[in-house]
Amino acid sequence: HARGWPVPIGGSQAIVDALAADLVAHGGRIETGREVRSLADLTPAKAVLFDTSVPGMLRIAGKQIPTPRRGALRRFRFGNAAAKVDFALSDPVPWTNEALRRAGTVHIGGTRAEIAAAEGAVARGQHAERPYVLGSEPTVVDPSRAPAGKHVFWAYAHVPAGSDVDQTEAITRQIERFAPGFRDTVLQSSSRTAVEMGAYNPNYVGGDIAAGAASFWQLVKRPVLSSDPWRMGGGMYLCSEASAPGPGVHGMAGWHAARSALRHTFGLPEHVDLTPED
């Protein structure tokens, strides 16, 4: 991160594969294709770590969460949303600024006043004419993600929570401001509205990719005001970005939740090497 956002060669699946291989090497087992509706759907365990939204944890754990904490979790709130578009391109994005042609990730918004106006519109429940857009062209540093000579570009725009408005045209227009001719490079595109983002990942309630409003107070009490906000009680821990320190590509919520589980459920030091037999 000191030199920019990392781009895994071959796609983000490479990160998943590495984490999965490490878990299996330590005796873990991964099951997919199963929806967990209640704790009864799980094999009995001393500790359960929830990589879910707050409502997801409440639905699954229900009254197993102590009453005071359950009440605090019900007060958890969500923010506005994102709508995403994936583009297949015939050529690199033709940024007017040559330096951007070497960047894997670009924040697109114009002037500070333009960004403030766009974000203000979303806060009022409106769709900005010139939305704030975050875009990434990973093929700049990883050509393996597209056929020879071709490129891929993905972008999302901030939109009101629960929006069902396709943002393909709005995002394309915004990129065109800084990369004239971008539209002509688009071979194909695939769009997800905020509603569809929520259906794709239940953690994105209403399309909120931060899994909860990132307001000042909700970062302080994420998801509850506590010296150990990951611990829900009864051997249950919240390890998603709905818990402290909040959203971001850092993995710290899981790290803190694991440390809390080691300390409170297993009575082990926070830093310990576990063998498969353990």
Question: Is there a single domain that holds both residue 65 and residue 151?
Answer: no
Question: Is there a single domain that holds both residue 137 and residue 242?
Answer: no
Cis peptide before 223 (omega within 30 of 0): yes
Give the range of the structural domain holding residue 132, as residue numbers without chain letter: 81-200
- Of the three residues 157, 177, 200, the one that is the final residue of a domain is 200
The string of pLDDT tens digits covering residues 60-111 is: 999 999 999 999 999 999 999 999 999 999 999 999 999 999 998 999 999 9
Tokens of 197: 């983002």
Within a domain: residue 247? Answer: yes
Residue 158 CB coordination number (10 Å)? 27
What is the arithmetic mean of pLDDT over 145-154? 96
Question: Is there a single domain that holds both residue 85 and residue 129?
Answer: yes
What is the arithmetic mean of pLDDT over 108-122? 96
- Of the three residues 200, 225, 245, the one that is the final residue of a domain is 200
The string of pLDDT tens digits covering residues 202-261 is: 999 999 999 999 999 999 999 999 999 999 999 999 999 999 999 988 889 999 999 999
Split at pLDDT 50, 70, 90, the class of 1 is: low
Q: The whole model's pTM is what?
A: 0.88
Number of domains forming the structure of the chain:
2
* Mean per-residue pLDDT of the chain: 93
Question: Is there a single domain that holds both residue 90 and residue 65?
Answer: no
Within a domain: residue 48? Answer: yes
Q: Left (φ > 0), alpha (ψ -120 to 50) or beta: where does 163 sit?
A: beta
Distance CA 46, CA 229 (A): 19
Select from 144, 146, 153 the least CA-distant residue to 186.
153
